[in-house]
A and B are shown apart, each in its own frame.
Chain A
Amino acid sequence: MNRREVLQGLGAAAMMMPAINGLAAQTAGDETVYELRIYHTNPGKLEPLLKRFREKETAIFVRMGMHPVGYWTPDDDPLKGNALIYILRHKSRAAATESWAKFSKDPEWVKLKAETEANGAFVEKHDVTFMTLTDFSPKV
């Protein structure tokens, strides 16, 4: 193997790393960020919102390069029946901004939102919190 082949090999190995580590979370020095989103739904709109996530929206997130960590519904009042809580993992804050920009302009999403919300908006208010894992956190 000459020097050029070694460099090519190194380049290929470097390119494979993100694929290998795609599901592992933060490693030292990386820029991974997490986004906690809490959606407060309009009356009667949680079920159609969940249906949209289940059938279409999560797949669009993934297509935009966003990684869902978990989707939850609260068990107790006052949030029970009117909130969806989820966490996304992004490669970096810049990647998050880019993915959301692409998402909001995506033709499938624009059509889906218009169709599903023809009779009224699903979400009254959403809270967004960007965060990083602490140094002692399990990986997610």
Chain B
Amino acid sequence: MDRREVLFAMSAAAMVPFVSAEAEAKEASGDTVYELRIYHAMEGKLDALVARFRDHTDALFKKHGLKPVAYWNPTDEPVKGNTFIYILKHPSREAALANWKSFHDDPEWIKVSTASEANGKLVEKVDSTYMTLTDFSPSV
């Protein structure tokens, strides 16, 4: 192996972490961010929204590296029956933006989204809050 080949091999090796262990590497470096998302559904559309998450969105999130921590339904008025809450865990803020973009550009998502909203929008408003675990938090 001459010098050029060695350099080539080194650069190829350096790229490997980005492919195989990006999440772990970023987590170790403390870049992990969480995203709290609160969806306010259009009137009468919460069930359809939750069904879309159950049947399609959850799998598409995972396909695009968007890691769900949990999904919840509020139990009390005034948000019961019209609000859906979940948290995603991202390796970094940059990864969040890139993964959201690839999710939105995915032809499957566009198809699912269009089909599910043939009779009207499901979501009136989304509140998204990016946040960081405190130093005293349990790991999530």
Interface size class of B (residues with CB under 8 A): 20 to 34
- Neighbouring A residues of B29 by C-beta, 8 Å: none
Let me know if A75 and B130 touch, CB within 8 A: yes
Let me know if B85 and A131 touch, CB within 8 A: yes
Complex Cα distance A36/B129, Å? 13
Complex Cα distance A51/B64, Å? 37
Let me know if A54 and B135 touch, CB within 8 A: yes
> How far, in Å, is B44 (CB) from chain A's closest CB?
18
* Interface assignment of A48: CB less than 8 Å from any CB of chain B: no
* Interface assignment of B5: CB less than 8 Å from any CB of chain A: no
* Interface assignment of A30: CB less than 8 Å from any CB of chain B: no
* Interface assignment of B105: CB less than 8 Å from any CB of chain A: no
Q: Which of A6-14, A105-113, A115-123, A132-140 lies at the binding interface?
A: A132-140
Complex Cα distance A69/B89, Å? 14
* Interface assignment of B7: CB less than 8 Å from any CB of chain A: no
Contact (A131, B73) CB under 8 Å given A53-B136, A54-B136: yes
Give residues 41-90 of B contacting A (CB, 8 Å).
50, 53-54, 58, 68-76, 79, 85-86
* Interface assignment of A71: CB less than 8 Å from any CB of chain B: yes
Let me know if A132 and B136 touch, CB within 8 A: no
| Interface residues of A, count at CB 8 A | 33
Let me know if A72 and B131 touch, CB within 8 A: yes
Among A71, A129, A134, the residue within 8 A (CB) of B50 is A134
Of all chain B residues, the one with the shortest Cβ separation from A67 is B138
Complex Cα distance A76/B16, Å? 32
Binary interface encoding of chain A residues 33-56 relative to chain B, with 1 for a CB under 8 A from any of its CBs, else 0: 110100000000000001001100
Let me know if B74 and A138 touch, CB within 8 A: no
Let me know if B134 and A72 touch, CB within 8 A: yes
Contact (A138, B69) CB under 8 Å given A68-B137, A129-B85: yes
Complex Cα distance A129/B85, Å? 10
* Interface assignment of B33: CB less than 8 Å from any CB of chain A: yes
* Interface assignment of A99: CB less than 8 Å from any CB of chain B: no
Complex Cα distance A36/B79, Å? 13
Let me know if A69 and B72 touch, CB within 8 A: no
Among A70, A73, A136, the residue within 8 A (CB) of B140 is A70
B interface residue numbers (CB < 8 A to A): 33-34, 36, 50, 53-54, 58, 68-76, 79, 85-86, 93, 129-138, 140
Chain A to chain B: the 5 pairs with minimum beta-carbon distance, closest first: A131-B72, A72-B131, A71-B137, A54-B136, A137-B71
What are 9 A-B contacts with C-beta separation under 8 Å?
A: A34-B72, A50-B134, A70-B34, A75-B131, A75-B132, A76-B130, A131-B85, A137-B70, A138-B68
